[in-house]
């Protein structure tokens, strides 16, 4: 029992190191990054009961360590902090939303968006070319632009909307899956990047992330060549994020990056490309901040991030029931 009590937190520590340092460079750890990490707590009640039954209360610290490792670095719990607004400062409210191709209907989606009263709305996976979703937004916002899967609605003038060049990848030109918008705001001219790199779902052979466990149990996950499938998929996602990050790095104005990153916590792609941006959730909220799937979410994929001259004063997750993602909303002002 003593060995088992020590083995549990030790195995969690090893898993944490593998996810952080190996991460997307190996298909196994790539798949593990997208698993529901709350499952890591499953052995805890049995081990606690076993330690009490064996009259080994002195070993309970090992299970406390296991909880800390599971809940904080692995599951991504953030504790409450201070993020009060400056009543004299101008601020913007931003909303980013993967609208799931508008399947729930443009009216229902825009109603959920409007309930948060954002100044700027960034839509990923909207209706291709804008569609009814863009028309609904135009009825509420003076400045709307739609292109491919992306749309933006703004109360302030959109000075430029740039669709980047396609990216060569293994002999094919692939979509960069991001858009750049230059907007004149009360906080100055800001370059907004709306990102939505390729999802890993197809490479994981699942239609929904919650089906992963069933795929593992039945062996369907291992059909085909998982190393090649996930490796190619991950490489393209890394290329798309790197292209957006590189373009943003050359901006001469402030930058805000938002969207469905398709990158979970501990992702090295996220850390290496966007790690220098401040994260609205970590700066101005607490809890887990999960955004996918919309029912019983267990992954934080949707983010709002900014260059350091800004300060986030609030962050929320919302827009329930109209997409397979939840939207993210943040208030931002210039730092002092």
CATH superfamily, domain 91-334, is Endonuclease/exonuclease/phosphatase (3.60.10.10)
Quick check: 315 and 280 in contact, CB under 8 A?
yes
Residue of 35, 62, 6 lying closest to 298 (CA atoms): 35
Q: What is the largest CA-CA distance in the chain?
A: 70
Q: Would you state the pLDDT for residue 207?
A: 46
**E strand spans, 221-266:** 254-260
39: CB partners within 8 A, 6+ apart: none
Q: Would you state the pLDDT for residue 137?
A: 97
Q: Would you state the pLDDT for residue 226?
A: 59
Question: Residue 71 and residue 209: Cα distance in Å, rounded?
Answer: 20
Q: Would you state the pLDDT for residue 56?
A: 81
pTM of the model: 0.92
Domain segments of the chain as ranges: 2-74, 91-334
Between the CA of residue 119 and those of 7, 146, 179, 183, what are the distances in Å? 51, 17, 18, 11
Q: Would you state the pLDDT for residue 215?
A: 52
Q: Would you state the pLDDT for residue 55?
A: 83
Mean pLDDT by 10 residues, the chain (336 residues): 84 98 94 95 92 84 95 96 78 97 96 98 94 96 97 98 96 96 98 96 57 52 62 94 98 98 97 97 97 95 97 97 97 88
Q: Would you state the pLDDT for residue 229?
A: 82
């Amino acid at each position: 029992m003593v060995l088992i009590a020590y083995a549990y937190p030790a195995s969690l520590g090893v898993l944490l190191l593998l996810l952080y340092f190996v991460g997307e460079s190996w298909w196994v750890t790539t798949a593990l990054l997208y698993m529901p990490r709350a499952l890591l707590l499953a052995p805890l009640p049995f081990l606690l009961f076993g330690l009490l039954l064996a009259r080994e209360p002195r070993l309970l610290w090992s299970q406390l360590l296991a909880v800390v490792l599971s809940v904080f670095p692995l599951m991504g719990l953030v504790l409450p902090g201070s993020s009060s607004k400056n009543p004299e400062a101008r601020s913007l409210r931003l909303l980013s939303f993967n609208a799931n191709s508008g399947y729930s209907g443009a009216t229902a989606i825009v109603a959920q968006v409007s309930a948060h009263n954002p100044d700027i709305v960034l839509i990923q996976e909207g209706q291709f070319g804008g569609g009814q979703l863009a028309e609904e937004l135009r009825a509420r916002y003076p400045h709307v632009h739609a292109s491919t899967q992306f749309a933006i609605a703004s109360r302030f003038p959109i000075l430029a909307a740039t669709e980047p060049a396609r990216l060569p990848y293994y002999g094919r030109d692939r979509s960069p899956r991001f858009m750049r918008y230059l907007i004149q705001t009360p906080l100055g001219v800001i370059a907004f990047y709306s990102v939505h790199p390729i999802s890993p779902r197809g490479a994981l052979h699942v239609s929904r992330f919650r089906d992963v466990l069933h795929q593992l149990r039945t062996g369907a996950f291992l059909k085909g060549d998982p190393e090649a499938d996930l490796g190619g998929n991950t490489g393209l996602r890394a290329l798309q994020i790197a292209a957006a990050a590189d373009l943003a790095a050359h901006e001469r104005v402030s930058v805000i990056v938002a969207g469905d990153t398709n990158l979970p916590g501990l992702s090295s792609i996220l850390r290496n490309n966007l790690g220098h941006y401040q994260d609205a959730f970590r700066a101005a909220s607490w809890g887990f901040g999960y955004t996918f799937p919309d029912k019983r979410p267990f992954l934080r994929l949707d983010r709002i991030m900014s260059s350091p001259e800004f300060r986030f004063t609030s962050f929320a997750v919302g827009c329930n029931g109209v997409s397979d993602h939840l939207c993210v909303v943040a208030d931002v002002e210039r730092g002092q």
